[in-house]
Amino acid sequence: MLLDCDFHIHSKYSGATSEQMNFEVISEQAPLKGLSVVGTGDALHHAWLKEIKSLNPFSDGVYEKRNCKFVITTEVEDARRVHHLIFLPEISSAESLRETFKKFSVDIDRDGRPHLRLNGEELVDYVDEVGGLLGPAHAFVPWTSIYKEYSSIKECYGDNTKKIKFLELGLSADTYLADCIEELQELTFLSNSDAHSPWPHRLGREFNRLLVKELTFKNIRKAIERNENKVVLNVGFDPRLGKYHSTACIKCFRRYELEEAIKLKWRCMECGGILKKGVRDRIKELGSTIPKHPEHRPKYIRIAPLAEILCLALKVKNIYSPEIQENWKKLVSRFGSEISVLVDIPIEEIKKESNGKVAELIGAFRKGKFEIVEGGGGKYGEIVFNKKKSYRRSQAVLDSFMLM
């Protein structure tokens, strides 16, 4: 059984999150995206946990509303401001963990992602006690991440390092970057959206395809641990388009090589602005410039949300425009889901149902046939599909689906 899963989202109880992040809307939108399973997110927040309890049991550790299946997940911030993603086997585990963490948090009932006075090693112990699984969330962003604060997994998790089975790539990295770091060879990579709104250009913008015997929490865990089941595909955003991919000035956005930035003492030679170290250069510090993929590592496909591709193809800036929404609904209705259109349906079939440029750009994404003017210093990158003409992402379009 193949499952397309987005395990990391947030509820309406997290900061800067849409009021539409409720189970009613999520359960409508996830099937349109093509997601088989969604993480609940925010499972330690008292109000959201009450809503989680309203979900119907589906199988061991899996719950449902309408045609959408959910597993219990949450994100926490530790005492060093490192974020961790947690999987829990059932609702009662979330209740138990919440009672434990209440002693270490002043905002567990104010924010869906609570701040805890615990370090990474201590967190693993508490999560292990309730049968859960924990790993680094969005591991490479230049804030609130393991590689922002530490130079190795062991520095964060100490004697519990062997219990870490996965690492979440986040929007700022992909398999090709992460596999430059030798210590990650044995970890399973997860690509999740960290969505703050339920619409398909955010929900599932990064996802994992799992091969499991049947849909249970136990089998999802086994896939993450590569025990009988496995992750067979990661799909996500191209990190070169991210605001902080390259080292660059935060004022004029001039890009620098790492060695040059160090010599300049992190000050721009043109405007004197502060230079922000990019994700690419942070990974270079930690590993090599050439990825070494272990045999178990699945393929990674770089893709953009369908609405974004439609904007590029039809030269429309607003993803909510009637033209974009009409074309999006037509393709999703014809082929079943956005994921099917982006990843699975033959390009010739898509061409029959859409503007030829739409099919062409989807094909270009699948094959990686585009160039990138890299982002950095807080400025998004730019897609270039050919030398004669570039398809520039307007700030409005970028802000509609990216969360950095």
Nearest partner of 36 among 336, 310, 347, judged by Cα? 336
Question: Residue 188 corresponds to which amino acid?
Answer: T
Average pLDDT rounded to a whole number, residues 174-199 = 97
Nearest partner of 246 among 272, 271, 283, judged by Cα? 283
Same domain, yes or no, for 217 and 323? no
Residue 284 in any domain: the answer is no
Residue 325 in any domain: the answer is yes
Same domain, yes or no, for 313 and 173? no
Residue 276 in any domain: the answer is no
Residue 103 in any domain: the answer is yes
Q: How many residues does the chain have?
A: 404
Q: What is the CATH number of the domain that holds 127?
A: 3.20.20.140
Environment class of 388 (CB within 10 Å of its CB; exposed 0-12, middle 13-18, buried 19+): exposed
Tell me the backbone φ, ψ of residue 144, rounded to 5 degrees. 45, 40
DSSP class of 277: P
Structure tokens at 238: 């191209």
Q: Which helix (H) or strand (E) holds 353?
A: helix 347-353
The last residue of one of the domains, among 236, 260, 285, is 236
Taking the CB of residue 260, how many other CB atoms lie within 10 A of it?
12
* Per-residue pLDDT, 103: 97
Residue 248 in any domain: the answer is no
Residue 295 in any domain: the answer is no
Report the range of poorest mean pLDDT among 251-265, 320-334, 354-368. Answer: 354-368
Q: Quote the radius of gyration of the chain (alpha carbons, Å).
A: 21
Taking the CB of residue 320, how many other CB atoms lie within 10 A of it?
11
Write the pLDDT tens digit of every residue in 31-57: 999 999 999 999 999 999 999 999 999
Residue 301 in any domain: the answer is no
Q: Are the CB atoms for 124 and 157 separated by under 8 Å?
A: yes
Average pLDDT rounded to a whole number, residues 361-371 = 87
Buried residues in 196-235 as b, exposed as e (16+ CB within 10 A):
bbbbbbbbbbbbbbbbbeebbbbbbbbbbeeeebbbebbb
Mean pLDDT, the chain, as a whole number?
A: 93
Same domain, yes or no, for 142 and 49? yes
Same domain, yes or no, for 136 and 10? yes
Q: What range defines the domain where residue 11 resides?
A: 2-236
Same domain, yes or no, for 228 and 318? no
Residue 209 in any domain: the answer is yes
Question: Residue 389 corresponds to which amino acid?
Answer: K
Average pLDDT rounded to a whole number, residues 106-121 = 97
- Integer angstrom CA distances of residue 224 from 167, 168, 347: 10, 11, 31
Same domain, yes or no, for 38 and 186? yes
- Integer angstrom CA distances of residue 277 from 54, 128, 257: 45, 35, 9
pLDDT surpasses 60 at 394: no
DSSP class of 361: H
The last residue of one of the domains, among 204, 236, 268, is 236
Same domain, yes or no, for 22 and 115? yes
**DSSP3 helix / strand / coil % (the chain, rounded to 5):** 35, 20, 45
Same domain, yes or no, for 192 and 77? yes
Residue 237: pLDDT band (50, 70, 90) is confident
Q: How many domains does the chain have?
A: 2
CA 86 to chain centre: 14
Pairwise pLDDT comparison (90 vs 383), residue with the higher score: 90
* Per-residue pLDDT, 386: 60
Nearest partner of 248 among 142, 131, 387, judged by Cα? 142
The last residue of one of the domains, among 211, 236, 261, is 236
Structure tokens at 288: 């090599």
Structure tokens at 75: 């994100």
Same domain, yes or no, for 6 and 140? yes
Same domain, yes or no, for 73 and 190? yes
* Per-residue pLDDT, 86: 99
Residue 65: pLDDT band (50, 70, 90) is very high
